[in-house]
Structure 1
Amino acid sequence: MVTTPLGDLAVRVSGFGPAKVVLWPSIFTDGHIYDGLVSRLAAEATFFLIDGPGHGLSRGVSREFTMAEAASAWLAVMDSFGLSRAVVGGVSWGALAAAEVALTAPGRVERLILMNTPMDVSGAHPKFRDRMIAFGARWMVRGKMFRDGVAGSFFDPGTLVSNTAYSQAFHGMLAASDPVALSAAVRSVILHGEPLRSRLARISVQTLLIAGKEDALYPLEGQASAALLLQDGRFEPVAGRHISPVEAPDEVAASLRAFLSNDKPA
């Protein structure tokens, strides 16, 4: 547990390789979405896997917060492990938080990994779908019907059937969550977020942008156009929907391996 401005956050350290990689998950998930990457890249990187506030083993806070506060929490995690610089990244919410670190503290970021990123989420104009998700996070998250709905948006139908270990972790974590803290985090991301797309050109570090080819939440075309705005970006579409490290671990691991070694894609 690491004390941060957003409460005590659980951080799991896995792998033993020389690269230092700090990852934050999507809403409705925890650091276990990265287990497949760790098993494939353990000799090449040491992973610091954060459970976001209100998710997994991180109790979180009952209030809403900004991505700037999430970035401060992220830096507190790095400080606690003596990481002056690291590769930072995440999926969806994690990508937004990682991008905020790169924007506000670029000297702490060696490289940036953005996966399945909500480029245009805006608190000024929240969508009806997002309002319903936020409502469900507060009042319905412990019910299997709501969890199945989230799973249907996040994963190809066969993913959780074939990956029973992660399916149990996904449902178990949400069923045991504190709805107040979890929904505060969800609202912070989808109802009060600041669009990232207009700020991408300010990101100065090397950036890998990964997108799911069948991600209906944030379609491939929008991700591809966003990648063109980066100063030093690499775009990698992979199979699956919204949680690429779970949906396509081999493809994501191969992309990360090349990115960490600075190899160009074939």
Structure 2
Amino acid sequence: MMNAITEFTKTAPVSHLVPTSLARLHVVETGQGPETLVLWPSIFTDHHIYDDLVARLSTSYRFLLIDGPAHGQSEGGTDAFTMEDCAKAMSEVMDHFNLDRAIVGGTSWGGITAAHLALMSPARVKALVLMNTPMQIDAKRPGLKARFIAGGARWALKTASFRNGVAESFFSATVLAANTAYARAFHDMLKAANPAPLATAVRSVILRGAPLLDRMSELTVPTLVIAGKEDRMYPIAVQAKAALLAPQGRFEAVGGKHISAVERPDRVADIIKKFIGLEAAQ
């Protein structure tokens, strides 16, 4: 990963703090190319999960990488929000950069956000990239683990055991061991976060969501679903089913757990580049 990060820093990313209806969100603008990819990360992570992906694609595509509320360098609040609110904020970021349409996507929370933007404003979305995205998250029936994470986030974030538990769910042990710089950055971000706003964001994602699976058939844009083969939180069979429900859906399984952009950046970069190429050819 360190070689990829070194390449990434050469692209001279520019940081912006963009006003939105949720909060002022930190956005990293980097790369170059005729197409712009707007990506939003998972809860408990920031834009750095895309470092390796950007390192491989920044000479072909422009990126806008959005830190979610209370994550990374984004501001946050204590008012709960919905996934529609997140989609609106993503649209407002696009407005800030005078971007009428783009390829939008994200990881987990970011995938839900991008999918809602595609449902709310399909004219703004050229194509949709859903990485490791929960398809059956249901605030009406949250599981025990979801309730534990949502309830304990504010108080437990400062404890190494809680952060290690999140890391073990998100990343393969071999990936964390090989990428010590990323593992350290993951812990540092959570330790530095403001506990109350970050907990609000986590609770909003986990406890105010609705199943995306039921709405995949409503998507009118080309949709790519990427899933980790060892992701125990979101079974691969459900991910494949969701992709088939989308009228223009494509499904790709990759090795690793929940954050495929970190786990298998080469494979994910190749999949996205092929997907964009196929859409451009049609």
TM-score (norm 1): 0.97
Identity of aligned residues (%): 53
- Structure 2 residue aligned with 1:204: 220
Partner of 1:227: 243
How many residues are matched? Answer: 264
Please report how far the alpha carbon of residue 165 of structure 1 lies from its aligned counterpart in structure 2 after TM superposition: 2.1
- Structure 2 unaligned spans of 5+: 1-16
Q: Which amino acid aligns with 2:230?
A: E
Residue number in structure 1 paired with 2:116: 100
Which amino acid counterpart does residue 67 of structure 2 have in structure 1?
Answer: D
Match for residue 158 of structure 1 among 164, 170, 174? 174
Report the CA distance between 1:136 and its aligned residue. 2.5
| Structure 2 counterpart of 1:149, from 141, 165, 168 | 165
| Superposition deviation, residue 168 in structure 1 | 1.8
Distance (whole Å) between structure 2 residues aligned to residue 164 and residue 52 of structure 1: 24
- State the secondary structure of the residue aligned to 2:73: coil
In the other structure, the counterpart of 1:48 is 64
Residue by residue, what CA displacement relative to the aligned partner does 1:180-213 show, whole Å, maximum 9, x if unpaired? 1111111111111011000000000001100000
> Is 2:250 aligned against 1:256?
no
- TM superposition shift of 1:135: 2.1
Contact kept, 8 Å, 1:136 with 1:146, in 2: the verdict is no
Q: Per the alignment, in what secondary structure is the counterpart of residue 168 of structure 1?
A: helix
Deviations 1:116-139 (A, max 9, x none): 111011111111111101123111
- TM-score, normalised to structure 2, is 0.92
Amino acid at match of 1:195: P
Within 5 Å, which residues of 2 pair with 1:34-183? 34-183=50-199
CA distance in 1, matches of 2:181, 2:168: 17
Shift of 1:162: 0.6
8 Å CA contact retained: 1:142, 1:177: no
Shift of 1:263: 7.0
Q: Distance in 2 between matches of 1:142 and 1:260?
A: 40
Measure, in 2, the Cα distance between the counterparts of 1:185 and 1:105: 23
- Contiguous gaps of at least 5 residues in structure 1: none
- Which portions of structure 1, spanning 4 or more consecutive aligned residues, are displaced by more than 3 angstroms? none
What is the letter of the counterpart of residue 128 of structure 2? Answer: L
Give the aligned partner of residue 40 of structure 2.
24
- Give the RMSD, CA atoms, in angstroms: 1.1
2:28 alignment partner, SS class: strand
Alignment of 1:188-203 (within 5 A): 188-203=204-219
